[in-house]
Amino acid sequence: MQSVVTISFFFRYFTCQKQPGSLDHEVQDANTFASWGVDYLKYDNCYNDGSKPELRYPIMRNALNQTGRSIFYSICEWGIDNPAEWASNVGNSWRTTGDITDSWQSMVTIADLNNQWAAYAGPGGWNDPDMLEVGNGGMTLEEYRSHFSVWSLMKAPLLIGCDVRNVSKKYIDILTNVEVISVNQDSLGVQGKKVSQQGVSGCLEVWASPLCEGRRTVLLWNRCSITDSIIVRWADVGLQPSTVVTVRDIWQHENLPETFTQSLEVEVRQHSSKMYILTPLFKAEEDIQ
């Protein structure tokens, strides 16, 4: 496996740790990063000079481009100026929110904030709801599975935020689920989004994303405090109700034993989720992409 060199650097006067920043030294620093073989630059917003991010961030973009090295440029201005609206020609990803913390409430709040920018993401430019908290210990195993699932469906950068030297196997199993990661890396590159809210309080949710070859990913997410059933209806995910599909559970790594039309209803435990890939047995031209 080819290694990837990642560096976090910070804007203007100081880094977030009050080390020297890059004010007026963007070209010098970009050349240094390229000489080190850096592949990924996260450019943070601490101790900035007060100028607008739309003016500040292109300076480092230009400097990186001039190095001749392909370096992924991660803009991290904390969603202050709605970067989804302007950053697609500046960086390869942009933070849409403030910092995540290792808690259920923080995770679901940030998922909702990132969801509103789904239409702005696509190949070459991605909404970034901040790093994964899987393995840090503040959520349950089921909550972490939901966290990893929705980040994958949203095509978010899957940046591991725990200490991989000491993380236990149960978390590694989440972080290395190839079938879930394949949703994140699907060649169509369409960010998934929330398509349905059910139940009295609306905390039973369906998230969905089209995949290549006419497939759909669906996430049935129970954000309630009790177990309940969630229904995904084909019309909500861009399929004609008559479409016959096979259903694969990509956490259990198995196909459901029958085919389905119109909808799928599943019981989901509290703060848990089910993630499936729907594959039409034939391509219906009427299906909505």
Amino acid, res. 266: V
State yes or no: is 163 an active-site residue. Answer: no
Domain boundaries, the chain: 1-95, 193-280
Whether residue 75 contacts residue 41, with contact meaning beta carbons closer than 8 Å, is answered with no
Cα 16 from chain centre: 24
* Catalytic, out of 39, 81, 99, 112: 99
pTM exceeds 0.85: yes
Sheet holding 6-10, edge to edge: 6-10, 40-44, 72-75, 93-95, 126-128
User: What are the phi and psi torsion angles at 67 (to 5°)?
Assistant: -75, -20
- Bridge partners of 20? 14
> How far apart are the C-alpha atoms of 208 and 227, rounded to whole Å?
21
Which residues of the chain fall below pLDDT 70?
Answer: 1-3, 5-12, 283-289
> How far apart are the C-alpha atoms of 117 and 187, rounded to whole Å?
20
> How far apart are the C-alpha atoms of 75 and 53, rounded to whole Å?
9
pLDDT tens digits for range 171-192: 999 999 999 999 999 999 999 9
Question: Max Cα separation, the chain?
Answer: 62
pLDDT of residue 12: 52
DSSP code, position 192: P
pLDDT of residue 2: 61
* Catalytic, out of 29, 44, 102, 186: 44
CATH 2.60.40.1180 fits 193-280, yes or no: yes
> How far apart are the C-alpha atoms of 161 and 132, rounded to whole Å?
5
pLDDT of residue 49: 86
State yes or no: is 44 an active-site residue. Answer: yes
